[in-house]
């Protein structure tokens, strides 16, 4: 009886729970409690930030700055996603292994392309930004590449999985007509995977907008740069104005993606 309990514990959720609890306890033990955990002025600053959320600065000057910063952020996100699609789409197709009938060609392309995709997404976009800023200076190209390369790795990986998950029955019918794997891909596999690919691409565009705002903190301009300046000036009302611009951007992209997905579903239906 005890052996069965031990096997269930070690092979089930109990072991994972115990490991997480032990890791949590070890992390608590590593905190320097004697130095104080909470900033004595933190509650007052938090109250000021929350209060400023209900009275954002809406002067014409700030609104113009917000509009220009929004355009800069969108430009970085859009250009970065374009780079990500140009790199990630072909690597994702090769990484899916769905366009080759030869086992050797399929395996070699899958291994090589997935290695490249893993290498691209292993480095965070903020790290890429520091590297490119050091190499190219505060250039728009640095921001675009810093966003495009890791997102290419992420998109390529997901595209490969979505292309692999397409039902095989319709594809076998195409192969029965003598179609090559490339024709099967273009006229069967890709159209069936396209709605999910579009949905995930729009989701990544939303993430790209947020990432573009974060990249602005390294001095590349945009909403994040103005949020940082407002925080440094302790101007929380102006900061919230730029935050609301960012929220509006994400909402617009979400509505747009819903419209596109609905239209694709109607056309395919």
Instruction: Give the pair of three-digit tokens for residue 64.
Output: 């113009």
Q: Which domains does the chain carry? A: 55-268 (1.10.3720.10)
Q: Note the pLDDT of residue 199.
A: 87
Q: Note the pLDDT of residue 222.
A: 85
Q: Give the number of other CB atoms < 10 A from CB of residue 62.
A: 19
What is the C-alpha end-to-end distance of the chain, expressed in Å? 56
Instruction: Give the integer Cα–Cα distance in Å for 84 and 147.
Output: 8
DSSP state at residue 41:
T
Q: Note the pLDDT of residue 26.
A: 81
Encode the chain (269 residues) as per-residue pLDDT tens digits.
455 545 555 555 667 787 888 888 887 777 666 665 566 666 787 888 889 999 999 999 999 999 999 999 999 999 999 999 999 999 999 998 888 877 888 889 899 999 999 999 999 888 898 888 888 887 888 889 999 999 999 999 999 999 998 888 888 888 788 778 888 888 888 888 988 898 899 889 888 888 888 877 666 678 888 998 998 888 999 999 999 999 998 889 888 888 887 887 777 66
Q: Give the number of other CB atoms < 10 A from CB of residue 241.
A: 23
Largest pairwise CA distance in the chain: 75
DSSP state at residue 37:
S
Q: Note the pLDDT of residue 243.
A: 93
């Amino acid at each position: 009886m005890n052996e069965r309990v031990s096997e269930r514990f070690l092979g089930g959720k109990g072991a994972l729970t115990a490991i997480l609890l032990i890791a949590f306890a070890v992390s608590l033990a590593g905190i320097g409690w004697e130095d104080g955990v909470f900033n004595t002025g933190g509650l007052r600053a938090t109250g000021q930030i929350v209060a400023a959320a209900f009275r954002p600065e809406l002067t014409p000057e700030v609104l113009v700055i917000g509009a220009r910063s929004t355009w800069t952020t969108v430009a970085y996100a859009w250009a970065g996603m374009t780079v990500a699609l140009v790199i990630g789409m072909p690597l994702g197709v090769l990484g899916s292994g769905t366009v080759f009938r030869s086992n050797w060609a399929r395996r070699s392309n899958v291994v090589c392309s997935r290695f490249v995709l893993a290498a691209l997404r292993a480095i965070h976009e903020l790290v890429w930004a520091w590297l490119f800023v050091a190499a190219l200076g505060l250039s728009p190209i640095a921001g675009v590449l810093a966003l495009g390369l890791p997102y290419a790795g992420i998109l390529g990986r997901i595209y490969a999985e979505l292309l692999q998950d397409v039902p095989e029955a319709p594809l076998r019918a195409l192969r029965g007509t003598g179609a090559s794997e490339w024709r099967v891909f273009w006229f069967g596999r890709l159209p069936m995977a396209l709605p999910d690919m579009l949905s995930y691409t729009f989701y990544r565009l939303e993430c790209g907008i947020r990432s573009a705002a974060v990249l602005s903190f390294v001095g590349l301009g945009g909403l994040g740069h103005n949020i940082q300046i407002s925080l440094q000036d302790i101007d929380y009302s102006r900061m919230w104005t730029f935050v609301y611009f960012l929220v509006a951007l994400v909402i617009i992209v979400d509505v747009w993606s819903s419209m596109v997905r609905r239209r694709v579903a109607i056309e395919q239906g």
